[in-house]
Amino acid sequence: MKAQIIGTGAYVPEKILSNRDLEKTIETSDEWIFGRTGIRARHIAAKDESTSDLAVKAAQKALKNAGMTASEVDLIIVATSMPDMFFPSTACIVQNKLGASQAAGFDLSAACSGFVYALSVGEQYIRSGTYQRVLVIGAEVMSRLTDWADRRTCVLFGDGAGAVVLAPSDADRGILSVHLHTDGALWDLICVPGGASALPPSEKVLVEHLNTIKMKGSETFKIAVRNLENVALEALKANQMTVSDISWLVPHQANIRILNAVSSRLGLPKEKMIVNLDRYGNTSAASIPLAFDEAINDGRIKRGDTLLFLAFGGGLTWGAAVVQY
Ligand code: ACO
């Protein structure tokens, strides 16, 4: 029994922070940021908005789109690197705010690969027959994990949420495969070193901003390109497909140069790649469902299309999902 996606939804906070705005607070330029990353602007959560608020708004749209009520949800998985609090999980808070009283819920942490990891877990519950309706959400308030004095990282990230509803497939369509990979030896390429059990909150953590994202950008860049290409080829081979079978590539939105390098190595025309990072930046686990929902709503992605989701992030983690939408 395959799992199919029966509804999608997304939400970004109202406030937009442009590259021009950033020019006023750090030594940077729109030219540098756009030229190196493809990003022009990102959305920033309001002071009273937390990750669960973004997740709930995306989830409500996905449920409406699926023609369902919250009480019909069996399981909520929230992929996030920036939960509302250590515990309870953000999924518990989302369950309450949604009124999904019958649903179990938990969070999943795989940094920017979180959505593809969460999709794989949700898919397994459907395949096994355990659950009939699974809400998979990627939601992040990256702006509160960001060191706003570090120009090498603060220009990259944004806030947002995307959600999908999974149900048993009544036809051939659905999630055809998911391939996941991890290389924990490279954990320190992208990490938030402080503020948790390894380095609890202290004056040093706050003064040295160790509770914010640290990234070795250029090393990460090269590995991201290689690993995304490899996992894409692995996914295609497993489905006896070639690149020409893919209607749309829906990649994690980290950097346009990474995406262009991956598409040209795969021989996939750039016109077949969904890109929205110019307006949202890197929203980590939210980026794939956000791009996916947007491309459905503007009419690019249609029922029956074959999609390739590609994710890469801290961990290191990476993965690919092939979906017959
Ligand atoms: N404005 C102006 N100059 C800058 C800025 C900025 N915002 N940031 C860095 N620079 C400077 C640097 O100081 C450096 O100057 P120097 O040569 O005098 O020291 C120069 O620009 C080049 O810096 P690099 O870091 O080498 O720039 P690079 O071309 O590698 O681009 C970037 C940096 C955009 C971060 C890129 O490396 C990248 O996208 N890496 C991959 C990110 C990624 O995929 N992350 C995975 C997901 S994240 C997650 O999982 C949470």
Q: Active site includes 154?
A: no
Strands 306-313 and 248-251 turn out to be: parallel
Phi and psi at residue 7, in whole multiples of 5°?
Answer: -165, 150
pTM: 0.96
Instruction: Considering the candidates 112, 179, 227, 255, report the single residue annotated as catalytic.
Output: 112
Ligand 1 pocket residue status of 258, Cβ below 6 Å: yes
Q: How far, in Å, is the centroid of ligand 1 from the Cα of 151?
A: 8
Q: Which atom of ligand 1 is nearest the CA belonging to 317?
A: 50
Q: How far, in Å, is the centroid of ligand 1 from the Cα of 83?
A: 26
Whole-angstrom distance, CA of residue 273 vs CA of residue 1: 29
Structure tokens belonging to residue 243: 């690149």
Tell the residue number behind the tokens 């996916």, with chain if given: 292
Structure tokens belonging to residue 231: 């996992």
Q: Active site includes 260?
A: no
pLDDT score for 171 = 80
The burial of 186, by beta-carbon neighbours within 10 Å (0-12 exposed, 13-18 middle, 19 or more buried), is given as middle
pLDDT score for 210 = 98
pLDDT score for 81 = 98
Structure tokens belonging to residue 188: 């320190």
**Numbered ranges of CATH 3.40.47.10 in the chain:** 3-171, 176-324
The burial of 177, by beta-carbon neighbours within 10 Å (0-12 exposed, 13-18 middle, 19 or more buried), is given as middle
Per-residue confidence in pLDDT tens, the chain, 325 aa: 899 999 999 999 999 999 999 999 999 999 999 999 999 999 999 999 999 999 999 999 999 999 999 999 999 999 999 999 999 999 999 999 999 999 999 999 999 999 999 999 999 999 999 999 999 999 999 999 999 999 999 999 999 999 999 999 988 899 999 999 999 999 999 999 999 999 999 999 999 999 999 999 999 999 999 999 999 999 999 999 999 999 999 999 999 999 999 999 999 999 999 999 999 999 999 999 999 999 999 999 999 999 999 999 999 999 999 999 9
Spatial neighbors of 222 by CB under 8 A, at least 6 apart, are: none
SS (H, E, C) the chain: CCEEEEEEEEECCCEEEEHHHHHCCCCCCHHHHHHHHCCCEEEECCCCCCHHHHHHHHHHHHHHHHCCCHHHCCEEEEECCCCCCCCCCHHHHHHHHHCCCCCEEEEECCHHHHHHHHHHHHHHHHHCCCCCCEEEEEEEEHHHCCCCCCHHHHCCECEEEEEEEEEECCCCCEEEEEEEEECHHHHHHEECCCCCCCCCCCHHHHHCCCCCCEECHHHHHHHHHHHHHHHHHHHHHHCCCCHHHCCEEEECCCCHHHHHHHHHHHCCCHHHECCCHHHHCECHHHHHHHHHHHHHHCCCCCCCCEEEEEEEECCCEEEEEEEEC
**Architecture (CATH level 2) of domain 3-171:** 3-Layer(aba) Sandwich (3.40)
Ligand 1 pocket residue status of 100, Cβ below 6 Å: no
Q: How far, in Å, is the centroid of ligand 1 from the Cα of 113?
A: 20
Q: Active site includes 252?
A: yes
pLDDT score for 172 = 83
Q: Span 176-324: which CATH code?
A: 3.40.47.10
pLDDT score for 215 = 96
Spatial neighbors of 106 by CB under 8 A, at least 6 apart, are: 76, 77, 78, 89, 91
